[in-house]
Chains A and B, each alone.
Chain A
Amino acid sequence: MPLMRYAARLLGAPRYRPGPTASRQLASRLLAAALILASATDAAAAQTVDGALDGAEKPTASENAAANPDIENRTARIGARLRCPVCRQQSVAESSSRIAREMQDVIREMLVQGRSEQEIEAYFVEAYGPWILLKPRAEGINLVVYLGPAAALLLGLLFLARRFRAMHRAAHVATSADRPADRQDPPEAAEIDRRRPSKRDRAWIESAIRGS
């Protein structure tokens, strides 16, 4: 399969949205490449898919914007927050796909027009839905993502605290049971402890006895 994929890449098969299965997608790419090559023969012109894309109208990013480091930094920052529609796991800023580059051009143009970062994000969310944001907004069902781990941690700590307390109590009961003098019920043993004279009281009693 990697060999076929390599062959497809050599043929210049484009990357479009994944099909129902990987093999069907690969077959589609090979067929697409074959169709274009056949077209090239008919048209007596060298037209591969890559060639077709090279010749297509390119995104026209403003040269002024490209020369402006602030615009470029902000473009990269916004692009890093948007998901590439083709690569899915990469941001628009990271992806080298054509649609990602075009989206960056749109961001750049909107920044030059004076649109805020929030407005630009909202533009893409309106077109693609919240899915386009790599970091989901903390609202609605998304709150589960943000609050879930904290809630799970809290529950885990409560659970552990309860377990430790139970273990401690069990150890205390076992220690008390080993002492013959304390074989009464725990409340009674506590009462005896309470009534036992303190060290200071004992010293006073002993001195009083010696004095008498």
Chain B
Amino acid sequence: MNRSSWRWLVPLSVVPLLALLAWGLTQDARRLPSALEGSEAPAFSLANLYDPSDSISLSDFGGKVVVLNFWASWCQPCVAEHPVLVRLRERYDPEDVALVGVLFQDRPENGKLFMERLGGEWPLVNDPGSRTAIRYGVYGVPETFFVGADGVVALRHDLPVTWDLVASKVDSLLGARGRGGVSSASEGGC
């Protein structure tokens, strides 16, 4: 290796390293990509929060767009996103879009109390031992999974959902299903 080659070797090895470090600084280390996006949503069958003898399964919503929301009564961001979920339930036909709440590491009584205080009606299930949450790769709440009518996870959102996000994602999934979005979904702002 001659002298000029060595002269280039140092910048060639150091510059990519510095570029990698600079890129790393622009990334949010707390955000993690979901391994499930693009994969089939794991099946589950969990007890209804209001009637433990009744179970609710993902397969009950076959052919629909499913918004699967992991939440807890002790989670303040869940309080913040709740109005968006209420609006989702009001604006979209349950025949097209299913909203399912999975209670995460919480007591069923507290979950019911939370819903009584904040309102909203959609299927709620209990997840003892967080088995379903672990299967979905949940690491905190709120986390929301948007599952297409084909049963494939289109998006995992690990922060409180916003109306813009919900409307755009649900509309695109409904569009993919071939029935088109519900017109009222994109009316007005939050």
> Which stretch from A49-57, A64-72, A182-190, A196-204 is at the chain B interface?
A49-57
Residues of B within 8 A of A28 (CB): 76-77
Taking a contact as CB atoms under 8 Å apart, the answer to whether B73 and A39 are in contact is yes
- Asked if B30 and A86 make an inter-chain contact with CB atoms under 8 angstroms apart, the answer reads no
| Cβ < 8 Å to B, chain A residues 92-128 | 98-99, 102-103, 105-106, 124-128
Residue of A49, A127, A152 touching B74 (CB-CB under 8 A): A49
Pick from B57-65, B88-96, B123-131 the stretch touching chain A.
B123-131
Q: Which of B136-144, B161-169, B173-181, B182-190 contacts A (4 or more CB under 8 A)?
A: B136-144
Closest Cβ of chain A to B40, distance in Å, is: 11
Inter-subunit contact B6/A18 (CB<8 Å) = no
Measured in the bound complex, the distance between the Cα atoms of B133 and A55 in whole Å is: 19
- Please state if B129 and A58 are interface contacts (CB–CB under 8 Å): yes
Instruction: Please encode chain B, from 98 to 127, with 1 for each CB lying within 8 Å of some chain A CB and 0 for all others.
Output: 000000011101100110010000000010
Partner of A19, one of B32, B77, B79, B139: B77
Q: Known: A53-B105, A56-B107. Contact between A102 and B74, CB under 8 A? A: no
Complex: A29 Cα to B75 Cα, angstroms: 8
Which residues on the A side are within 8 Å of B11 (C-beta)? none
Q: A59 an interface residue at 8 Å Cβ cutoff?
A: yes
Least Cβ–Cβ distance between A41 and chain B, in angstroms: 12
Q: How far is the CA of A105 from the CA of B129 in the complex (A)?
A: 8
Q: What are the residues of chain B within 8 A of A158 when measuring CB–CB?
A: 1
Question: When each residue 1-34 of chain A gets 1 if its CB lies under 8 Å from chain B and 0 otherwise, what string results?
Answer: 0000000000000101111000000001101100
Judge if A131 is at the interface, Cβ distance under 8 Å.
yes
Task: Give the interface size class of chain B.
Answer: 35 or more
Q: Once the chains are docked, how many angstroms separate the CA of A158 from the CA of B106?
A: 60
Q: Which of B35, B39, B75, B140 contacts A32 (CB 8 A)?
A: B75
Minimum CB–CB distance from B178 to chain A (whole Å) comes to: 29
User: Which residues does chain B contribute within 8 Å of A31, judged by CB atoms?
Assistant: 76
B107 CB contact (under 8 Å) in A52, A126, A131: A52
A17 and B140 contact, Cβ closer than 8 Å, known pairs A39-B113, A52-B110, A53-B105: yes
| Complex Cα–Cα for A130 and B137 (A) | 11
**Known: A17-B30, A55-B107, A99-B105. Is A60-B13 also a contact (CB below 8 A)?**
no
Select A56's contact among B13, B34, B105, B117, beta carbons within 8 Å: B105
A129 at the interface (CB under 8 A from B): yes
Query: Are A127 and B36 CB-contacts (below 8 A) given A17-B140, A28-B77?
Result: yes
Chain B nearest CB from A129 CB (Å) reads: 4
B134 at the interface (CB under 8 A from A): yes
Tell me how far the C-beta of A157 lies from the nearest C-beta in chain B, rounded to whole angstroms.
13
Q: Tell me if A146 is interfacial: C-beta within 8 Å of chain B.
A: no
Q: What residues make up the interface of A, taking CB atoms closer than 8 Å to B?
A: 14, 16-19, 28-29, 31-32, 35-36, 39, 42-43, 47, 49, 52-53, 55-60, 85-86, 98-99, 102-103, 105-106, 124-131, 152, 155, 158-159, 162
24 contacts between A and B (CB under 8 A): A16-B75, A19-B77, A35-B74, A39-B110, A53-B74, A53-B107, A56-B107, A56-B128, A57-B126, A57-B128, A57-B129, A58-B128, A85-B139, A99-B139, A103-B134, A125-B35, A126-B36, A127-B42, A127-B136, A127-B137, A128-B32, A130-B35, A155-B13, A162-B6
Interface residues of B (CB under 8 A from A): 1, 6, 9, 13, 30, 32-36, 39, 42, 72-77, 79, 105-107, 109-110, 113-114, 117, 126, 128-131, 133-141, 158
